[in-house]
Amino acid sequence: MENSIKPSYEQGERGSSAILVSISLGFSLFWMLFFTALLYDPFAKVALPADALALPLPIAMCAGLAVTDVLVFKMCDFFSGERGHKVMWAIVSCYAIIPAIVLFTQAIRGAIVPTPFAFAAWSVIGIGLGFLLALWSELLVSFVKGFASKAIAFSACIGAVLYFAMSSLPTLLGICFLCVASPLSLALLRLLEKETPAAPFVPRAECIKRHRLTKPIDALNTLYSAVFGLAIFMLSRTPPSLSLYGGITLAIAAGALFMVPFFSKNTDKMMHGMVQKILFPILVIGLMPLPFVDGILQVLCMLVILMGYICLTLVNLDSLYCLVKKYKVTSLYLVGRGHSPILVGVSIGYLIGYVAFTNAVGNMYLAFTSLALVVLMSVFVTTIDFDPDHLKEEHEDAEHQQADKGRWKTKCATIAEAHDLSAREIEVFNLLAKGRGTAYIQDKLYISPHTVKSHTYKIYRKLNVNSREELLTLIENAPSGEERIET
């Protein structure tokens, strides 16, 4: 019942500090695996000569992840059901086995793994990560926007630290770390699912009627991500070192933390292309000098671009979670579809860099590519109509929702006064009116479950109701103005 009076982006549980920490730790394992597959190449580290150009394995990983996202989007009805969930859990539980076998064989025998096997292993990694992201997204959409934003940002920061730790480990220990990460993430997810109410299921046909993602946003995300893919490829060519891993970790953390104060409470800056406009100058600063500098300056340019990529990726996920609540659609329908353009763009950018440097055209080609990307981004950002009327509509909706919320509070206050509830009973009553359960109320008010039940019994008796449904009906039918309730 509380959902009917909340702003559309705030539907869901608020969560406690303990749950925030648990989610951040569990989801961070996804980010650690993702950053490792995208930015760190164990195949090159183990078997290739130091001066060899690394295989474009991140393209295979991004392709596998994007295909999984689209599959989840197309078959969200199946994957939202019990059988589909079992399939996703089974895939995520087993997906590390194939890459682990390949990596262990390579590390122990010292042999170079054939390219087809390497690409297949990285594609499997992408598939597993895609389903792991879908499972965590189902959990995160159950919480209000501010809580979900913090969970996404903090998990990415912790994932960056784990990435640094994993990159610094000896090869065999790093492989072992990768193998246990996904089962551990699933174990934490399983524990949290028991504490969090599941979001209501909405059939895909109904989801399509309620909302469809706009193609201009998809196009802009793909274009921006091509810039990110190019920078990520350049990073893959940089000689590995602890200072490089440390710089990558700091760039990821900066991009993640940037979204907390700037985007987490300002939905307008997240929607309708606003985040892309804000990130545009940051990408230009990193992209324009990239072909004309070398050494530490070139690495700094790439890290600036990487920071923008992390920010866009996290804000995009956060905005998708908001849209799930706003339009009341299934999370698997929207998240998979909305995340895939970024992965496609990264693959395109990485491929552009790979083709350029394997054909020895090098920095001159990179300079023209950088200029072309800047021009395209400028055109897209300044000319595409992102339907600004939506912002006005959202402001009007927010005003109406705030008015409804105010009327709901007035009704609760009127009922409490008319039925002579005590101060503590009023606190419990207000939480009951918001749909909160016993566990939440006892944590919020620092009282025992027995005390909660005792206050609830007294409130029901004074209001002459016998259930939560009757209590909510009483509040709905109560006057909201100056009119008084007769006891």
**Does residue 366 surpass a pLDDT of 80?**
no
Nearest Cα to Cα of residue 419 among 369, 376, 473, 475: 475
pLDDT band at 17 (very low <50, low <70, confident <90, very high): confident
Q: Which of these ranges, 78-87, 148-157, 444-453, has the smallest mean pLDDT?
A: 444-453
Q: Which of these ranges, 228-232, 278-282, 439-443, has the smallest mean pLDDT?
A: 439-443
pLDDT of residue 5: 38
Q: How far is CA 111 from CA 102, 240, 472, in A?
A: 10, 20, 68
pLDDT of residue 394: 44
Q: Report, as an integer, the average pLDDT of 355-374.
A: 71
**Does residue 418 surpass a pLDDT of 60?**
yes
- Using left for φ > 0, alpha for ψ between -120 and 50, and beta otherwise, residue 236 falls in alpha
Q: Which of these ranges, 265-279, 297-311, 369-383, 405-419, has the smallest mean pLDDT?
A: 265-279
pLDDT of residue 266: 55
pLDDT band at 424 (very low <50, low <70, confident <90, very high): confident
**Does residue 48 surpass a pLDDT of 70?**
no
Beta strands in 362-436 (DSSP E): none
3 state SS of 52? coil
The token duo for 450 is 């027995």
Higher-pLDDT residue of 390, 445: 445
Considering the chain, what percentage of its residues have pLDDT values greater than 90? 15
Give me the sign of the Cα torsion angle 330, 333, 336, 342. negative
pLDDT of residue 43: 46
**Does residue 378 surpass a pLDDT of 90?**
no
pLDDT band at 93 (very low <50, low <70, confident <90, very high): confident
Q: Report, as an integer, the average pLDDT of 138-149.
A: 85
Q: Report, as an integer, the average pLDDT of 113-141.
A: 86
Q: Give the highest mean pLDDT range of 45-54, 104-113, 159-168, 444-453.
A: 159-168
- Give the tens place of pLDDT for each residue, 282-323: 888 888 787 777 888 888 988 998 998 998 899 888 888 888
- Amino acid at residue number 207: C
Q: Report, as an integer, the average pLDDT of 368-390.
A: 67
C-beta atoms surrounding 60 within 10 Å: 21
Q: Report, as an integer, the average pLDDT of 189-206.
A: 82
Report d(CA 442, CA 450) in Å as an integer.
9
pLDDT of residue 270: 57
pLDDT of residue 271: 57
pTM comes to 0.74
Higher-pLDDT residue of 401, 364: 364
pLDDT of residue 66: 92
pLDDT of residue 135: 92
Q: Report, as an integer, the average pLDDT of 188-209.
A: 83
pLDDT of residue 51: 41
pLDDT of residue 1: 38
pLDDT band at 433 (very low <50, low <70, confident <90, very high): confident
Mean pLDDT score of the chain: 79
Q: Report, as an integer, the average pLDDT of 14-34.
A: 89
Q: Which pairs from 264-270 meet CB under 8 Å and 24+ separation? A: 264/145, 264/146, 264/149, 264/150, 264/153, 264/318, 265/146, 267/9, 267/145, 267/319, 267/322, 267/394, 268/391, 268/394, 270/315, 270/318, 270/319, 270/322
pLDDT of residue 96: 73
pLDDT band at 129 (very low <50, low <70, confident <90, very high): very high
Beta carbons of 297 and 307 less than 8 angstroms apart: no
Higher-pLDDT residue of 406, 195: 195
pLDDT of residue 393: 44
pLDDT of residue 396: 44
pLDDT of residue 264: 57
pLDDT of residue 65: 92
Q: Which of these ranges, 98-102, 277-281, 340-344, has the smallest mean pLDDT?
A: 98-102
